[in-house]
A and B are shown apart, each in its own frame.
Chain A
Amino acid sequence: MNGKPVRVLVVDDSALMRKLIPQILQTDNSIEVVGTAIDGNFGLKKIEELRPQVVTLDLEMPGMGGLDMLKEIMRRHRIPVIVVSSHSTNSATATLKALSLGAFDFVAKPADVSSRMQEITRELIAKIKAAAHSRGVQIHSQMDLPTPATTQKSKAAVAREPSKVIAIGISTGGPQSLQYLLSQFPGDFPGSIVVVQHMPDGFTEMFARRLDESCALNVKEAQSGDLLLAGRVLVCPGNRHMKVKKLPLGDIAILSDDPPVNGHRPSADVMFKSVAEEFGEQAIGVLMTGMGEDGANGLGMIKASGGLTIAQGEQSCVVFGMPKAAIERGNVMRVVELDALAATLQAQCGKHRRQAKAAGQD
């Protein structure tokens, strides 16, 4: 992170934002805003001209909008793009679309953005730096995605207890990687998956819906008391923590408003710890692409209580931060690249399926 500052282009149709974003970015010496653009057309021209390393992009613009510009950037330049998104239903949809098109990450402007400016500034700066030092964008466009093993969801499938509980902690680069991973599982996958994806409030519901549409598993944003079922994926909602609990009638997810851990809520560490405590050797912890080190310690707890711990390999990570931290701490038992991950997890879950209990449920 030394040497020349990161060259950033700011694309936003709001004159105010074109002033504000450079202003807050320039509080960091290692970032240089080389230009701003009012819409997609100008943005693309400025990319040719100024050769930025990272682009911050507003999605709602007249003329060439953000999504179209993003497609072009991905096609022609492959520069990491950070979407600057606001709080609305439409924005959430568009933002997630952008992520699936290959945007590196996004920063949400909350309604009270003015009072949380410092926090947002820090986040944006960190993401820009991570983007600049990532090894290019990994794109799994719609076409690259394998068709879900069974497109028809087994709606009638009876709720079954899972053979294993897979806890996934993931951050930057997560949306695409998760979509890629989850779409490879068949609908009758015997494991249950809980996911902590670092994402703000208001985006996770839509995110879970999108995942649900694109894979055979049943994906939903978790609510307190939701059952961990085979073939089901529970995504922790933004701004809450998720823990798990074994109860007589089944295993459930519990949401809480405890303070952020490692600066994150949801935090992968919180989830890993509770999965380790409740499920022991029935647990599989997976730490995937993302900045920082959230989950690195929690993975160690799963390992210590007899579960399996997996880190996504560097080759397939958008940011090899969290997995690296876990590996360095000796908390990882296996390192698996993204394309092999689904197969690995299937093999693990199939092996120790709790046949007796599953039958009893039926």
Chain B
Amino acid sequence: MTQFSDERGGELRELFFETAQELLQSLNEDALKLEKTPSDREIIRSIRRTVHTLKGDSAAAGFRELSELAHAIEDALAVETHGDDVSLAELGFVAADTFAAMLVAYRENGALPDASPLKSMVDRLASGPKKSKAHGNKKASTEADPEIVWTEYERLAAANARADRKKVFHIVAHIHPLCAMPVAARQLVTNALASVAQILGLRPEAAAIAETKRIDLLVATSQSDALLISKCEIPTVIKKAECKVLATAEPEIKEEQSTVEAPAAETVRETSHTEAESAGQTPRGHADTTLRVDAERIDNVLNLVGELIIGKSMLQQTMQEFAARFPKDALRARFSDAMAFQARVLNDLQRSVMKIRMVPVEQLFRRFPRIVRDTAQRCGKEVNLEITGQDTDLDKGLLDAIAEPLTHIVRNAISHGLENAADRARAGKPATGKLRLNAYHQANQLIVEVSDDGRGVDTAKIKAKALQAGIVSAAEAEKMSVQELLELVFRPGFSTADEITEISGRGVGLDVVRSVLHRLKGTVELDTRPGEGTKFRLKLPLTLAIIKALLFRIEQRLYAIPLNTVAEIARAREGDLHRVDAWEVLQLRGEVLPLMRMGQRPAEGMDNPQTKIFVLVIHFGGRKWGLIVDALDGEEELVIKALDDQTVATDLVSGASILGDGRVVLIMNLASVVARFTGGRESSPAGAFPPSTGRAMPEVRQ
């Protein structure tokens, strides 16, 4: 009937990994809340519900270990009174971490992590008040010697035998290790005893005997126990037999039954009651009506919208030709009405589709309370995290991509930026450090800021480190502005940490942050005031899919760069350019601008100093550059199409787009272009030119 194909199973697992992340996130959040208000039942219930869902989901996806662990936690949490020795918040954190590690292991088919710390916490929790063990096999004692429960009928028989003035014994016969057939042993013992006693009960039953090591018998007899034992101890069959008088604590079957069951039933009823109550009044944040759609599908729609826009342009051009050919035709007006309408709808459509991809930054920010808590704890610092602007929207793809860099920056801020309590006191600051995450939109960009009120970055220290690491020469360092010195921290191999800690400062870090941001067509900047704090500012385009771009030509080819990187457009003549070392420069209002010439330099002698050129002044890497282009071609919203490696064998171009008239425009990857010109080391311009002063960074806080 239902065939669950591998493909379907895989899809299910993918969905599971995704939803499980969200569940773990809410687990983390609840644990954080619980840490603040440890006895809030509502939060505990919410945790239990989350674990419950995780249990069901992981079972459906076939991840049994995770499901069982979640089940154990759920059951432990269902008990309303817990032992005080286990912090539920801590349990939440450990559970979230263990589950996360298990998810990674499942995803990568790796070995499952050690869950024993979590298990022991759950065990301690579950074994809190004893009476809480409401369900399950309460009679199966945990001792090595399992207790036999005689059935009602057997107990009735025992009671009758006693009434007949017989003794009732429980005999345990241990089977000899050499005896290969327990079933035969059972038969022999029964036969031996039958002559001296009446056998009322016998365990194990025939079906379960293969693995057994012992035989339990309930017998009624008028003989002594010594005789019974001697009858039982058959050489090489029974190693040893024990005989105990069966306790007579069960005169009335019914009574016994009800006293054992009653209190258990009581506890269960209680939990079910509170559960029903809680179900009605537990808003977990605002209920979201989220529809889960593959990002790929949305991209597909976006692509099609892109095609439509191209189609529209084609239609418009055709219309113009039609108008030129039949200027008097009455159809013209109707065509253009229809065109205008279509254009408007298309515009709305494009915007709507774009919006689908946008998610609030909150989705990213919500992870940080936990990260900050853990990092602060490990560094032995007290940190208060303040989050603002979480409603700001950002493209989902970008959001995912900046998670890592942002985490790094936050950890960095706590371990290096903020001082410990003693140092803070000395500096006259409150003991608790302040860390702030903020996000806002600015000119079609998203800005994410991480600021702390710590000690700030010491530029002298940077200089010393950079010299020591051989990143810059002494001569270069002398010429560098404060801003340029700060820029050094983003260089590979740079770390100011005096000691390398587990949390940050392994020498990889900020350079990786920067390279990720560049890949995303964004930037990262650093602003600091000694003694007052540091602010990292990440700037990102709102979406990767559509950009506002400036189009220009170089040697008849059409290129584009993101409009927001362009500070200004300068006009110049070839004669205005100067050469300093290997660089062409342009003096622009007292500032010396290093130039990048994309095309061929006019051959010697052929160059006309009067030839007009355009210089695009761009901001990049904390300074300005000039890009020499032949002609400008206007600005346009471009739907970016990714280029696969087979199509383009250079990293100088990051994508392409198709214009309305069918022309293809290549989108330049500024990071690679700059890297190419500076030979990857970026040192030459700094050494060759006077620093471009702080003005190059208008956003820097004054």
Contact = CB atoms under 8 A, between A and B. Distances in A.
A14 B56 contact: yes
Interface in A224-257: 224-227, 229, 247, 249-250, 252, 257
B455 interface: no
Interface string B617-648: 00000000000000000000000000000000
Contacts of B1: 27-28, 118, 121-122
B249 interface: no
B59 A112 contact: yes
A113 B60 contact: yes
A149 interface: no
A100 to B, nearest CB: 11
Contacts of A17: 56-57, 60
B2 A66 contact: no
A354 interface: no
A359 interface: no
Contacts of B151: 223-226, 252
A205 B139 CA distance: 14
A16 B62 contact: no
A249 B155 CA distance: 11
A90 B275 contact: yes
Nearest to A247: B153
A111 interface: yes
Contact of A115 (B62, B258, B282): B62
A66 B19 CA distance: 21
Given A65-B282, A94-B272, A39 B287 contact: yes
B292 A15 contact: yes
Nearest to B160: A249
Interface in B268-291: 268-269, 271-272, 275-276, 278-280, 282-284, 287-290
B70 to A, nearest CB: 10
A257 B78 contact: no
Interface in B122-157: 134-136, 149-154, 156-157
Interface string B42-66: 0000100100110111011110100
B284 A227 contact: no
A136 interface: no
Given A111-B71, A159-B254, A249-B160, A93 B268 contact: yes
Contacts of A68: 276, 279-280
A68 B523 CA distance: 51
A42 interface: yes
Interface string A331-356: 00000000000000000000000000
Nearest to A21: B60
A9 B265 CA distance: 34
Contacts of B257: 220
Contacts of B282: 62-63, 65
A286 to B, nearest CB: 24
A159 B56 contact: no
B614 to A, nearest CB: 52
B254 A218 contact: yes
A15 B275 contact: no
Contact of A14 (B19, B152, B284): B19
B280 A65 contact: yes
Contacts of A227: 152-153, 156, 253
Given A42-B289, A227-B253, A86 B56 contact: yes
B153 A61 contact: no
B150 to A, nearest CB: 8
A63 B284 contact: yes
Nearest to A97: B272
Contacts of A15: 15, 18-19, 22, 292
B112 interface: no
B280 to A, nearest CB: 5
Contacts of A115: 62
Interface string A66-110: 111000000000000000001111100110010000000000011
Nearest to B45: A62
A56 B64 CA distance: 24
A23 B283 contact: no
B8 A97 contact: no
A218 B253 CA distance: 12
A38 B60 contact: no
A19 B15 contact: yes
Nearest to B282: A62
A117 interface: yes
A358 interface: no
B475 interface: no
A15 B254 CA distance: 48
Instruction: Kindly state the interface size class of chain B when it binds its partner.
Output: 35 or more
Contacts, number: 181
A89 B135 contact: yes
Contacts of B71: 87-88, 111
Given A109-B60, A224-B151, A155 B254 contact: yes
B255 interface: yes
A114 interface: yes
B153 A38 contact: no
A10 to B, nearest CB: 14
A220 B261 contact: yes
B75 A88 contact: yes
Contacts of A89: 75, 78, 134-136, 268
B91 interface: no
Given A15-B292, A227-B156, A247-B153, A90 B78 contact: yes
B157 A16 contact: no
B153 A249 contact: yes
B395 interface: no
Contacts of B661: none
Nearest to B46: A62
A178 interface: no
Nearest to A37: B289
B78 A16 contact: no
B16 interface: yes
Nearest to B265: A209
A173 B9 CA distance: 33
Nearest to A96: B272
A159 B157 contact: no
A112 B279 contact: no
A16 B55 contact: no
A345 to B, nearest CB: 22
Interface string B1-45: 110100010001001101100100000000000000000000000
A269 interface: no
A114 B59 contact: yes
Interface in A128-163: 153, 155-157, 159
B41 to A, nearest CB: 14
Interface string A27-46: 11000000000110110000
B78 A155 contact: no
A60 interface: yes
Among B157, B252, B268, B287, max chain A CB count under 10 A is at B287
B152 to A, nearest CB: 5
B56 A206 contact: no
A97 B152 CA distance: 30
Given A68-B280, A93-B268, A60 B59 contact: no
B324 interface: no
Contacts of A277: none
Contact of B52 (A16, A60, A111, A247): A60
Contacts of B252: 159
18 contacts: A14-B56, A16-B16, A20-B60, A38-B289, A60-B53, A89-B134, A89-B136, A111-B68, A118-B4, A121-B2, A122-B1, A209-B265, A218-B258, A224-B151, A229-B254, A249-B157, A250-B153, A252-B152
8 residue pairs, one from A and one from B, having the closest CB atoms = A225-B151, A65-B279, A114-B62, A62-B284, A93-B272, A16-B57, A89-B135, A15-B19
Given A42-B289, A209-B268, 5 more contacts: A114-B61, A159-B252, A225-B150, A249-B160, A252-B153
